[in-house]
């Protein structure tokens, strides 16, 4: 936990909901939520594999760009502007399954990243996009279950991530059109 708690702001319902989630912990749910919250290396491998194959290259580059945009805008900029405390900073007595993060809470960087990727996939391929959105939703929920984010952090992460995914889709689409026009002319 950082020296400065930042802005201590939350709604009562958020804390009640997080405490409810703490009451339903069990070994099976714990394992599932830990898998989703720690899935970064698997996602990185999937992005790299998708870039290698021509059929999935566009989606791979969209995911890479969406992830980059989300990282820069959310984790490197927005969190430092808003400086919202995390629930685990406010209640250090809650037993955590993960280390309490040192970065500020709002919006959820994990959730933004999950939804940036899922949206980028969905916009190009609904067949892969729907499971990606389900995966992203479970990843987002894991952040609440693990007591490291407020529900409004996660909701804002969903919205900001979707925006990053749309932005990456539009940028890659524009670049593809530019290269097609250059190759035709």
Active-site positions read 110, 149
**What does the alpha-carbon distance between residue 92 and residue 53 come to, in Å, rounded to a whole number?**
46
Choose among 69, 52, 46: nearest CA to 132.
46
Tell how far CA 28 is from the center of its chain.
22
Choose among 127, 113, 112: nearest CA to 56.
127
Main-chain phi, psi angles of 135, to 5 degrees: -60, -45
Question: Which residues neighbour 112 within 8 Å (Cβ) at sequence distance 6 or greater?
Answer: 70, 74, 75, 157, 158, 160, 161, 164
**What does the alpha-carbon distance between residue 112 and residue 159 come to, in Å, rounded to a whole number?**
7
**Three-state DSSP state, 44:** helix
């Amino acid at each position: 936990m950082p020296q400065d708690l930042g802005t201590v702001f939350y709604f009562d319902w958020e804390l009640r909901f997080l405490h409810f989630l703490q009451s339903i912990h069990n070994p099976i749910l714990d394992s599932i939520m830990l898998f989703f919250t720690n899935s970064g290396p698997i996602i990185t491998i999937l992005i790299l594999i998708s870039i290698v194959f021509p059929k999935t290259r566009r989606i791979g580059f969209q995911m890479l760009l969406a992830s980059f945009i989300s990282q820069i805008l959310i984790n490197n900029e927005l969190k430092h502007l808003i400086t919202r405390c995390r629930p685990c900073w406010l209640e250090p007595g809650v037993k955590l399954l993960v280390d309490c993060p040192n970065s500020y809470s709002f919006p959820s960087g994990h959730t933004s990243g999950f939804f940036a990727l899922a949206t980028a996939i969905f916009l190009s391929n609904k067949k892969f996009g729907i499971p990606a959105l389900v995966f992203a939703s479970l990843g987002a929920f894991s952040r609440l279950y693990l007591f490291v984010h407020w529900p409004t952090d996660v909701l804002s992460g969903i919205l900001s991530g979707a925006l990053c995914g749309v932005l990456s889709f539009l940028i890659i689409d524009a670049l593809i059109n530019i290269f097609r026009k250059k190759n035709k002319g």
